[in-house]
Amino acid sequence: MALIDNVKNRMEKIIKDEIEKFLKDRDDICKCEQCKADMYAYALNHLPPKYVVSDRGDIHFKTDIMSVQMQADITRVVLEAIDVVSKRPRHGLKKVK
């Protein structure tokens, strides 16, 4: 395995988990794969990436993610993503591959 394969954007899992958490109890919002993918992409494009390569980088990420400001930013952007996508769903236009 090349070292470059160890590079991971840790925001990806955080965003996926947050979207699932907020959609869990919402019956008024489409939860199809296309809509969730659009929400995911929107949120990732509106938050700074947090790339790590090592356990040390992971520790720094966990420290950053625990800040009140970072939590607030993530929540705000995820809720915005859900709102934007639910108002203009694309699920009838094409399938997610």
If one compares 1 and 53, the residue with the highest pLDDT of the two is 53
* Domain layout of the chain by residue ranges: 3-87
Q: Are 47 and 77 in contact (CB under 8 A)?
A: yes
Give the contacts of 47 (CB within 8 A, at least 6 positions apart). Answer: 11, 15, 73, 74, 77
23-69 pLDDT tens trace: 999 999 999 999 999 999 999 999 999 888 887 777 777 777 778 88
pTM of the predicted structure, to 2 decimals: 0.83
Residue-averaged pLDDT of the chain: 88
Residue 95 has pLDDT above 60, yes or no: no
d(CA 5, CA 24) in angstroms, rounded, equals 32
Which of 49, 51, 46 lies closest to 76 in space, CA to CA?
A: 46
Q: Are 14 and 64 in contact (CB under 8 A)?
A: no
Can you give the pLDDT at residue 44? 98
